[in-house]
Amino acid sequence: MFDNKQLFSSVVNEFNKAESIALCGHVMPDGDCLGAMLALGLALRQMGKRVVFCSPDPVPAVYGFLPCAGEVQLELNKQWRFDLFVSVDCSVPDRLGHFKELLDRAGRVVVLDHHAGSVVFGDVYLNIPACAAAGEIVYDLLPLLPVVFDEDIATCLYVAIVTDTGSFRYDNTGPMTHLRVADLMKLGVPAARVNKLLYEEKPLVSLRILNAVLQTLGISDCGRVAWMYVKRDTLRSLDASDEHVDGVINYPRMIKGVELALFFRELEDGKYKVSLRSKYYLDVNKLAARFGGGGHPRASGCLIEGDLEDIKGRLLQAALKALRDE
């Protein structure tokens, strides 16, 4: 935090001045996006601010237990005007979806992010790639505000951090991550229960879609790249939604000898959401950037339009070259 002291002060100043504040995360919200946004909103409400939570896509059912998750607005109200708009965990404006419009309708804009190579936007831009999660940035901001760090806020931040670190398994997990989480648990976060809700309460359809997706598993001749895919027809036939394939990319990634895992998910508009995960050394942020995407060194993504076989071929060619160049 101390290396960004001036930026932190600027963010706090914006919070203090504003009376009405909209908070928004990215499309296809995950635990970090939602946890960080909800925790910050709860804190701002303690300060007497009028806070509206926004999301361009529905809150996945797995995060429905989070405080205020049921208040998240999915539709843009054309009459809305806010003193301040806060973008949370969003690397580029387009990932705000239809709520991108609020960037021009709010008095001021604050951006809180931790993605390397993000697009700079807003009036105050606070991006700390060294943080494992946006939730860590919010954690560091709250002691600068006149708020009580209660159990609800702590639970939201715990979810943000535990999900974006892969339960502390990913390379982005550092000593400060564990120290922050220890403090959150001291505040009463029921960590064991939260972890069960996150990872041990899957609907039956999740297993059925996993079974279908595993049938698509492919592995390169060198054994260093593995991939799977899911088409809309498969999701429809099983009455599944996008959130039911969350985490399936971990299966090809866990194969011994595999450095890079790819997961191709067909979207409603004919595009494919490609998730990239590496295990030890390949920088998938650089690889995803070649296709207009980005993220983190070990976890990134991109959107590509076209035929699945063509998209797979292009990604595999680029991936194998990147591995050879390492």
**Full set of structural domains in the chain with CATH:** 2-199 (3.90.1640.10), 205-325 (3.10.310.30)
Coil, helix or strand for 73?
A: strand
Cα(106)–Cα(90) distance, integer angstroms: 17
Cα(212)–Cα(175) distance, integer angstroms: 39
Task: Identify which of 112, 74, 70 has the alpha carbon closest to the alpha carbon of residue 90.
Answer: 112
Look up residue 133 and give its two tokens: 């999660």
Beta-carbon contacts of 247 under 8 Å, excluding residues fewer than 6 positions away, are none
- Per the confidence metrics, is the pTM higher than 0.85? yes
- Low-confidence residues in the chain, pLDDT < 50: 1-2
Cα 117 to Cα 185, 186, 319, 325: the distances in Å are 32, 34, 19, 21
Query: Residue 284 has what pLDDT?
Result: 94
Identity (one letter) of the amino acid at 295? G
Cα(68)–Cα(39) distance, integer angstroms: 9
Beta-carbon contacts of 187 under 8 Å, excluding residues fewer than 6 positions away, are 149, 150, 151, 154
Query: Residue 1 has what pLDDT?
Result: 46
Q: Are 39 and 160 in contact (CB under 8 A)?
A: yes
Task: Identify which of 300, 315, 318 has the alpha carbon closest to the alpha carbon of residue 92.
Answer: 300
